[in-house]
Amino acid sequence: MSRYNLSPNKEYADLIVTVGWDAPMQTYFGQVADPDADGEDDDLVLWVGTASHEIPTIDRLAELVSDYAVIATDVREKLHADYVASLDRGPTPLQRFGRTFFK
């Protein structure tokens, strides 16, 4: 799984925006968290890409997080590279077994 932090849009400067590629689930994902002032737990404002094959493209991921941040070209390239690398490796035996339960 890869994870990249994005620079949030100005009106959401206090939020933490993260995107990535989840190889076992074969989906891109995005999270937007609002850190607590006490530093303990972050409250999730948005979490997409939690189901297998839910977000198949970077463009779709960009749409889903667009209220909070823009996915820069360099991050798009890294996300695509993560996707391609996961195709080269293929699923592990454990991932193939797990997919029978999480379809």
CB-based burial of residue 20 (10 Å sphere; 0-12 exposed, 13-18 middle, 19+ buried)?
buried
Q: Pairing mode, if any, of strands 4-6 and 27-35?
A: unpaired
pLDDT of residue 51: 94
Q: What is the 3-state secondary structure (H, E, C) of 31-54?
A: EEEEECCCCCCEEEEEEECCCCCC
Domain ranges for the chain: 4-95
- Euclidean distance between CA atoms 14 and 34, whole angstroms: 7
pLDDT of residue 97: 72
pLDDT of 5-60, one tens digit each?
A: 999 999 999 999 999 999 989 999 999 999 875 666 668 999 999 999 999 999 99
Q: Is the pTM value of this prediction over 0.85?
A: no
Please report the sign of the dihedral spanned by the C-alpha atoms of residue 15, residue 57, residue 53, residue 81.
negative
